[in-house]
Structure 1
Amino acid sequence: MAGQFPDRTWGSRTNVLARLASPIAATKAGSAAIRVLTPLDRKVLERSAGRYTLLGPIGAPILLLTTTGRNSGQQHTTPLLFVHDGDVLYVVGSNFGGDRHPDWTANLLSYPIATVTISGDYLAVHADPVTDETEREEVFDRFIEISDAYDAYRGRTDRTMRMFALRQL
């Protein structure tokens, strides 16, 4: 039987750095900077088994999601912000408000079994697309609470961002 996901974050979303990070991330330049930092952050997350991240000091909840490539069959790992809801983790394919869905979302649609690395734990998960509009809005509002950048991302694109509920196997 699947259990609760770990609920450990470090840093604080109320410190000065955190208050500055969200408005910066909401800009196109800030999104570009985050894209540049993502490979380095992935290495920090991988080496610390999801315990530490470059965004840790701002209290950002980040996990590593490892999916199976829909064409290649290879494993692909992506750091993502998430919303924690006890026995469910939500992730959204914002792609910084880009016009294309991120590849990891197509991978999950093709093969919904993945691995989450969070707080030192490696957990097998099943990903279910979140299609109920009320649930999607409620969860998306929680992403905006984490970072106002999500509101900016939504405003940059006409596509409906794919959202997934991750549950432990």
Structure 2
Amino acid sequence: MGVQAALGYEFRQPNAFQRANQKIASTKGGAWFFSKTVQTLDGAVHRLTRDRTSASEILAGLPVIRVTTTGRRSGQPRLAPLIAVPIGDDLALLGTNFGGTSTPAWVHNLVAEPRATAAYRDAEIDVVARPATAEEFEQVFTTGGGLYGGYEKYRERVTAREIKVFVLEEG
């Protein structure tokens, strides 16, 4: 059984409202706005719904998994709500950071310590994050672009750094 099945992860086609929000979020201004607000909103919605859904799922039709990494400097647990992209039976994470110039902290944490936990709704499992192969990298961006068009736009905007992609496997 892969990570998708173990978590019960599912992706549904977004409705018209969610598609409109995705288009806004994929613009430079929209990405900036959502990068500053969505984690706070996701946290509030997760608490209110007892982890059954997230703001990203309601607003954009994008299911969020909660990945807990170990801080590379602090050694403390660090929670990152992230959009996961199916790859085979597993899930992949893209370090796009909303198309921003900096690499997200969770990427540095997974490079330093690839063992983490992944949670979706009421399921939680131990995972190991490994760097995607070149072929998987392209597959994840192709699949991810079909789920959320912003990924390709983020990829075009990120030119000064390498976008890291990780495949989560049960561990």
Deviation of 1:37 after TM superposition, in Å, equals 2.5
Query: What per-residue deviation string (whole Å, max 9, x for no partner) do you get for residues 83-112 of structure 1?
Result: 124531100100111121101001001001
Equivalence map 1:16-165=2 (5 Å): 16-35=16-35, 36-45=37-46, 48=49, 50-57=51-58, 58-85=60-87, 87-130=89-132, 132-158=133-159, 159-165=161-167
Deviation of 1:12 after TM superposition, in Å, equals 4.0
Look up the equivalent residue of 1:31 and give its one-letter code. A
Distance 1:98 1:84 in 2: 23
User: Size of the alignment, in residue pairs?
Assistant: 167
Task: Sort the Cα spacing of 1:10 and 1:56 in 2 relative to 1 into closer, same or farther, 3 A.
Answer: farther
Long gaps (5+) in structure 2: none
Please give the TM-score of this superposition, normalised by the length of structure 2: 0.87
Task: Sort the Cα spacing of 1:5 and 1:86 in 2 relative to 1 into closer, same or farther, 3 A.
Answer: farther
Long gaps (5+) in structure 1: none
Distance 2:135 2:149 in 1: 20
Distance 2:7 2:149 in 1: 24
Look up the equivalent residue of 1:161 and give its one-letter code. I
Query: What per-residue deviation string (whole Å, max 9, x for no partner) do you get for residues 30-87 of structure 1?
Result: 1122121212212423564542011223431210111000000111111111112453
Task: Sort the Cα spacing of 1:49 and 1:112 in 2 relative to 1 into closer, same or farther, 3 A.
Answer: farther
Q: Which has the higher helix share?
A: 2
SS of alignment partner, residue 144 of structure 2: helix
Contact 1:50-1:64 at 8 Å conserved across structures? no
Contact 2:7-2:124 at 8 Å conserved across structures? no
Contact 1:67-1:76 at 8 Å conserved across structures? yes
Note the aligned Cα RMSD (angstroms).
Answer: 2.1
